[in-house]
């Protein structure tokens, strides 16, 4: 733990969250791995009620909205604890994509939109999804988008095709990116529109299989279609053409949330690796931990995790003090660095566990399947590296061509 970032109020909260995750969520993981998220939901709803009673609900929200009012840095440290289980963030109602949508609605929604969409989302009565990526276009260049929202009177008529609309299965509404101003500059063409999933013309085509696992309910990634899908103009979030500007507001804090979740996963994987290395014998009296290569993996993992945590918290602290724009290079840096640390640590942990590591008898294979995408979503590693390199090279008088 990087104690220099732990405030007095957080020091009182973290042990309670850590104990809850270990005692209540770890034991449920086997049922999740060998069953489905939907089958586990009644149990998780009971646990969500307990989290509310404990006063730990929605820690990212302001206190007047029933949350803990944590700073981004404080929430980052809490996110690490919750990230140690794939059920953590959901149980505390601070899971993606809902947490990002809550932040968007807090900043840009009208009073009516807040009443209809935000308030039940904050209470945990409903879930939401975020529809942006399209299968026909490279996600690394999000301005290429074919989904349109054409205004007809007091309605938008939406037509388009999206995928990796995570958690759409069972969601009540989608924050949808669609082109409303096709003649404007590329970054001013799209808008965000709130689309109830019950709207005629909204179709969930399928839950996409991720390395063979389809998933369900919250734990899913959907392909969706909008076919003459009509919603009121009053469902526009913010201003027309401001979709990408709003997306940038969502991305900075979102990267902190994700990266600290990666750190939490990495810590759990390292702990499992060490426990197994000590207990698994290659021969009587010769545990795996006696081998130098295992010791090297443990040391490398410890160093990488500590570096990743400090980098993310440094970035979060900078955002808290100076805003996301001032930390944009750091935001790009942590995205590719921490995602790679996660992949390295998981791979070592699986290798240490041998054949057991690739089964669903531990949580490691689940994370290996689902978190490989960490190097792709929110901009692939290559894009973030290019952004950082261009910024550095400008200091030497060289402008990198796009």
pLDDT tens figures, 346-365: 999 999 999 999 999 999 99
Query: Per-residue confidence at 252, pLDDT binned at 50, 70, 90?
Result: confident
Tokens of 4: 């220099």
Query: Per-residue confidence at 269, pLDDT binned at 50, 70, 90?
Result: very high
pLDDT for the residue 140: 76
How far is the C-alpha of 93 from the C-alpha of 59, rounded, in Å?
Answer: 8
Q: Is residue 222 a contact partner of residue 163, using CB atoms and an 8 Å limit?
A: yes
Is the bond preceding 283 in cis, omega lying within 30 degrees of 0?
no
Torsion of CA 143, 371, 162, 385, to 10 degrees: 10
Query: Per-residue confidence at 141, pLDDT binned at 50, 70, 90?
Result: confident
Domains annotated for the chain, with CATH where assigned, are 3-106 (1.10.540.10), 128-237 (2.40.110.10), 245-394 (1.20.140.10)
pLDDT for the residue 2: 60
Please say if the pLDDT value at position 32 is more than 60: yes
Q: What is the average pLDDT across 111-118?
A: 98
CA 255 from centroid of its chain's CA atoms:
8
What are the residues facing 178 on neighbouring strands?
191
Give per-residue pLDDT as tens, 166-223. 999 999 999 999 999 999 998 999 999 999 999 999 999 999 999 999 999 999 999 9
Query: Per-residue confidence at 114, pLDDT binned at 50, 70, 90?
Result: very high
Please say if the pLDDT value at position 272 is more than 70: yes
């Amino acid at each position: 733990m990087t104690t220099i970032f732990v405030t007095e109020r957080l020091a009182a909260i973290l042990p309670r969250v850590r104990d809850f995750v270990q005692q209540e969520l770890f034991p449920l993981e086997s049922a999740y791995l060998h069953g489905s998220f939907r089958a586990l939901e009644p149990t998780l709803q009971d646990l969500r009620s307990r989290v509310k009673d404990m006063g730990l609900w929605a820690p990212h929200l302001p206190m007047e909205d029933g949350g803990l009012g944590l700073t981004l840095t404080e929430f980052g440290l809490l996110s690490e604890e919750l990230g140690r289980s794939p059920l953590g963030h959901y149980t505390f109602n601070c899971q993606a994509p809902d947490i990002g949508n809550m932040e968007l609605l807090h900043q840009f929604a009208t009073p009516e939109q807040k009443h209809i969409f935000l308030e039940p989302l904050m209470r945990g009565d409903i879930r939401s999804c975020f529809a942006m990526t399209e299968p026909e276009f490279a996600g690394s260049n999000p301005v290429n988008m074919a989904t349109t929202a054409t205004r007809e009177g007091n309605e938008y008529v939406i037509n388009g095709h999206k995928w990796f609309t995570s958690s759409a299965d069972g969601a009540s509404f989608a924050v949808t990116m669609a082109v409303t101003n096709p003649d404007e500059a590329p970054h001013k063409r799209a808008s965000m529109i709130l689309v109830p999933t019950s709207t005629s013309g909204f179709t969930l085509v399928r839950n996409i299989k991720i390395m063979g696992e389809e998933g369900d309910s919250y734990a899913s990634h959907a392909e969706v279609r909008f076919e003459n899908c009509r919603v009121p103009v009053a469902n526009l979030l913010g201003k027309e053409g401001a979709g990408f500007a709003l997306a940038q507001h969502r991305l900075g804090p979102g990267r902190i949330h994700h990266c600290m979740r990666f750190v939490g996963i990495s810590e759990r994987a390292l702990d499992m690796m060490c426990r197994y290395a000590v207990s698994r014998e290659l021969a009587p009296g010769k545990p795996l931990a006696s081998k130098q290569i295992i010791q090297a993996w443990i040391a490398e993992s410890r160093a990488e995790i500590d570096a990743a945590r400090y980098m993310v918290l440094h970035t979060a602290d900078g955002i808290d003090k100076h805003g996301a724009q001032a930390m944009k290079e750091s935001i790009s840096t942590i995205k590719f660095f921490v995602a790679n640390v996660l992949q390295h640590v998981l791979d070592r942990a699986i290798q240490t566990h041998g054949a057991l590591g690739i089964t669903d008898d531990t949580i490691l294979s689940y994370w290996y399947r689902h978190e490989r995408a960490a190097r792709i979503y929110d901009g692939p590693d290559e894009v973030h590296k290019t952004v950082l390199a261009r910024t550095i090279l400008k200091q030497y008088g060289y402008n990198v061509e796009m």
